[in-house]
Amino acid sequence: MWVCLLPPRVRPIALPDSTTNPARLGTAAVGVASALLLLLVGASILVGAGNLTGEVLFVSRIPRTLALLLAGAGLAVAGVLMQLVAQNRFVEPSTAGTAQSASLGMLAVTILTPDAPVMIKMLCAALAALAGTALFLRVLKAIPLRSTLTVPLVGIVLGGVIGAATTFLAYRYDLMQTLATWNAGDFSTVLRGRYELLWIVLGLTVLAYAAADRFTIAGLGRDNAVSLGLHYRRVVALALVIVALVTAATVVTVGTIPFLGLVAPNIVSLIVGDSLRRSLPLVAGLGACLVLSCDLLGRLVRYPFEIPVGTVMGVIGGGLFLYLLLRRDARLG
């Protein structure tokens, strides 16, 4: 399994006391995360421009809060699945070309069939995201990986190339403003009837939890997984499909939220370890808490104006990503 990101000199010493049991820590962390999540949900419903009337509550505030919960939980789960498949802590949809590929797929279907239903657009974005993720994994197999840092750097370069191609097409067809909307991660336009596609993310998250033990074994590597009797290719394919669909549904509905899938799994891993069965609910809850917190911060910094969630999360998550990436003692787990 992966090595804890804490350097050896500050890693907690395993004591016989039961309080160091990962299961107990996980239970306590879930309780704290649940209380924090409820607090943030209440704040998200109450905070906003204008008076809180019944119509505003059911048409705008509650749908927006639900969209934040679903997107945050889904992207965090997608991040931990990508890290297991790539066997690297520093990858997630926005650092592996997955989110950029989903935007390219959305742009392509918008150019070719602008009147296509939203479900068709999501499926096209999912296929593009799946192709981009497969290309990322293919590139990793073709180059020598002498350092843990090579993997996220390859993903960032690949995402940059795909993003540049997407920007060129958007400029060519006068769709730059539309592309900017997909890349913003903005929940200000979420209303009842415009976010329901994200309920697919909930189903995918439940599916990921049902297959958590298989994903954990797959994270040990192909040889170890096969020796334990796991059908490695099928499990990896399932993980990639979940990642692609979650990313596509989020991009179609609210846009890209960078680094979320990197931050949440790494924090949870430091608390409860790497067993996906134990950590996945906490990863999903922490992802939802992070998105809710960034949304509240974006709404309050320049009230009554808003800063998109993607921008706030990009600043916070990008700083933490660089911190983890540049640690001299960071190692592939």
Do residues 247 and 260 make contact, with C-beta atoms less than 8 angstroms apart? Answer: no
Has residue 59 been placed in a domain?
no
Q: What is the pLDDT of residues 75-94, one digit of tens each?
A: 999 999 998 888 888 888 88
- Sign of the CA dihedral running 263, 269, 275, 279: negative
Instruction: Give SS3 for 211.
Output: coil
Q: What is the pLDDT of residues 239-263, one digit of tens each?
A: 999 999 999 999 888 888 988 888 8
b/e per residue 236-248 (b: at least 16 CB within 10 A): bebbbbbbbbbbb
Report CA-CA distances (Å) from 10 to 7, 90, 263, 328: 6, 21, 20, 14
Q: What is the pLDDT of residues 34-44, one digit of tens each?
A: 888 899 888 88
Q: How confident is the model at residue 202 (pLDDT cuts 50, 70, 90)?
A: very high
Spatial separation of the C-alpha atoms in residues 140 and 124, rounded to whole Å = 25
Has residue 43 been placed in a domain?
no
**Whole-angstrom Cα Rg for the chain:** 20
Do residues 262 and 321 make contact, with C-beta atoms less than 8 angstroms apart? Answer: yes
Predicted local confidence at residue 224, as pLDDT: 85
Has residue 193 been placed in a domain?
yes
Q: Determine the structural domain holding residue 121 and report its residue range.
A: 64-325
Spatial separation of the C-alpha atoms in residues 290 and 126, rounded to whole Å = 24
Q: When comparing pLDDT for 62 and 228, which is higher?
A: 62
Has residue 142 been placed in a domain?
yes
Give the chain's mean pLDDT: 83
Q: What is the pLDDT of residues 128-186, one digit of tens each?
A: 999 999 999 888 888 876 667 788 888 889 999 999 999 999 999 998 888 888 888 88
Residues 6 or more apart whose CB falls under 8 angstroms from that of 293 comprise: 40
**Cα atoms found within 13 Å of the Cα of residue 170, Cβ hemisphere only:** 20
Has residue 36 been placed in a domain?
no
Has residue 201 been placed in a domain?
yes
Q: Is the pLDDT at 106 greater than 70, yes or no?
A: yes
Spatial separation of the C-alpha atoms in residues 253 and 256, rounded to whole Å = 9
Q: Taking the model in full, what pTM does it have?
A: 0.83
CATH of the domain at 101: 1.10.3470.10
Has residue 332 been placed in a domain?
no
In the chain, the number of structural domains is 1
Has residue 162 been placed in a domain?
yes
Q: When comparing pLDDT for 7 and 33, which is higher?
A: 33
Predicted local confidence at residue 204, as pLDDT: 92
